[in-house]
Chains A and B, each alone.
Chain A
Amino acid sequence: MDIFWFLTFAVLLAGYFALEGFDIGLGVLLPVLGRSPADRDRLVGAMAPFVLANEVWLVALAGVLFGAFPVLEGQALSRLYPLVVALLLAWIVRDAGLWFRRRADGAAWRLAWDGALWAGSAGLALAWGAILVAVARGLPASPLDVPAVAGGVALLALLAWHGRTFAAWRLRSGPHGSGRALLLSACAAAAPAVLVMAAAAAHMLGNAAPDQTLTVLSVMVVPVAPILAGAQVWVWRTFSRGALPTFF
Chain B
Amino acid sequence: MDVVGLARMQFAVTGSLHFLFVVLTLGLAPLVAIMHTRYAIGGNPLHERMTRFWGQIYVINYALGIVTGLVMEFQFGLSWSGLSHYAGDVFGAPLAMETLLAFFLESTFLGLWIFGWHRLPRGLHVACIWLVTLTAYASALFIMVANSFLQNPAGSAEEGGRLVLRDFGALFTNPTLVFALPHVLSAGLWAGGFVVMGASAYHLYRRTPEREFFTRSLRIGVLTAFVGSLFTVGFGYAQFGPVSDVQPDKFHGAVPGVALGLMIMIGQFVQFGVMFVLAPLLIRDLLARWRWLHPLLMIMTPLPFVAAIAGWIVREVGRQPWLVYGKLSVADALTPGLTRADITASFAGFAGVLGLLALVDYVLIARAVRRGPGRVALGAADLPVTAEPVPAHSL
Chain A residues in the interface with B (C-beta under 8 A): 32-33, 35, 38-39, 41-43, 45, 48-53, 55-57, 59-60, 62-68, 70-71, 73-78, 81-82, 84-85, 88-89, 91-93, 95-96, 99-100, 102-104, 164, 167-168, 170-176, 209-210, 212-213, 216-217, 220-221, 224, 227-228, 231-232, 234-235, 238-239, 242-247
Contact = CB atoms under 8 A, between A and B. Distances in A.
Name the prevailing secondary structure of the B interface residues.
helix
B292 to A, nearest CB: 32
Interface string B169-212: 00000000000000000000000000000000000000000000
13 contacts: A67-B92, A77-B74, A85-B350, A93-B353, A95-B66, A173-B389, A210-B164, A228-B108, A231-B108, A235-B111, A242-B385, A247-B59, A247-B115
B390 A39 contact: yes
Contact of B89 (A82, A172, A209, A221): A209
B66 A71 contact: no
Given A66-B76, A164-B392, A244 B383 contact: yes
CB-CB nearest 7 A-B residue pairs: A70-B88, A67-B96, A63-B99, A74-B81, A77-B77, A52-B111, A243-B382
Interface string B344-368: 0110011001100100100010011
Interface in B73-128: 73-74, 76-85, 88-93, 95-101, 103-105, 107-112, 114-120
B380 A66 contact: no
B103 A59 contact: yes
Most B-side CB within 10 Å, residue of A38, A51, A67, A242: A67
Given A41-B383, A78-B81, 9 more contacts: A39-B391, A56-B107, A66-B84, A91-B70, A92-B354, A216-B93, A220-B101, A235-B108, A243-B383
Counting contact residues on chain B (CB < 8 A from A), the size range is 35 or more
A113 to B, nearest CB: 10
A243 B112 contact: no
B165 A62 contact: no
A100 B257 CA distance: 39
A171 B385 contact: yes
Interface of B: 59-60, 63, 66-67, 70-71, 73-74, 76-85, 88-93, 95-101, 103-105, 107-112, 114-120, 164-166, 168, 335-338, 342, 345-346, 349-350, 353-354, 357, 360, 364, 367-368, 377-378, 380-393, 395
A81 B107 CA distance: 26
Contact of A103 (B80, B100, B103, B377): B377
A235 B84 CA distance: 34
Contacts of A41: 383
Nearest to A160: B395
Given A71-B85, A73-B76, A49 B96 contact: no
Contact of B73 (A62, A228, A243): A62
B384 A243 contact: yes
A157 B110 CA distance: 31
Contacts of B165: 210, 212-213, 216
